[in-house]
Amino acid sequence: MFLGLHHHRHRHFFASECDDMPRRGRHGHRGRGWKEEQRAPRGDIKYILLALLAEQPRHGYELIKELEARYGGFWKPSPGSVYPTLQLLEEGGYLTSEQIEGRRIYTLTESGRQLLAEQGDRLPWIERGNRPEQLVELKKAIADVGAAVMQVARSGNSDKVNRAREILNRVKREIYSILAEEE
């Protein structure tokens, strides 16, 4: 037994392996684009869920929606990571749950509060200040550019379409040069 869990069944859960962040993306590629930066560090999903449940009892879908809202739509954990994690936390005695109006509501136990407290300053990821606001602004800028490009495309003017494509290619190169800069 490991932390009240059968070790063979849950051996990776507390070793930061139970989350929705594969080491490699689909088809084995590393780095699936800009969205990857907004993911929780590997294994932190359990602590993030505990932190949200420390605020108030919630059901699984509510946890998913709350995280999506806090990150401006740039990070949304999958149900395939949230629900099994909640189940394992409950089996480990860190949560309790009860069925209320057809929904399973999870509540943090004293053991869950202790596990969360042991993390100390490791949880600033869940409260990253202005990053979600910056991401929302970036998302809006992308949408605004997309709308402008669509207006050019609808104009039917091939010269304007070609000029817009050239501008977009320059912007893409500039953005990649930002990524190539050393930190």
pTM recorded for the entire structure: 0.56
Query: At 30, is the secondary structure helix, strand, or coil?
Result: coil
Sorting pLDDT into bands at 50, 70 and 90, what band is 99? very high
Rounded distance, CA 63 to CA 83, Å?
10
What is the rounded average pLDDT for all residues in the chain? 77
pLDDT band at 41 (very low <50, low <70, confident <90, very high): low
The span from the CA of 73 to the CA of 68, in Å, is 5
Q: For residue 102, give the amino acid letter.
A: G
Helix (H, G, I), strand (E, B) or coil at 107: strand
Task: Classify domain 7-128 at the CATH class level.
Answer: mainly alpha
| pLDDT level of residue 4 (50, 70, 90 thresholds) | very low
Q: How many CB atoms lie within 10 A of CB 155?
A: 12
Among candidate residues 161, 133, 158, the one with its CA nearest the CA of residue 148: 161
Cβ-contact 115, 50 below 8 angstroms: yes
- Domain ranges in the chain are 7-128, 135-180
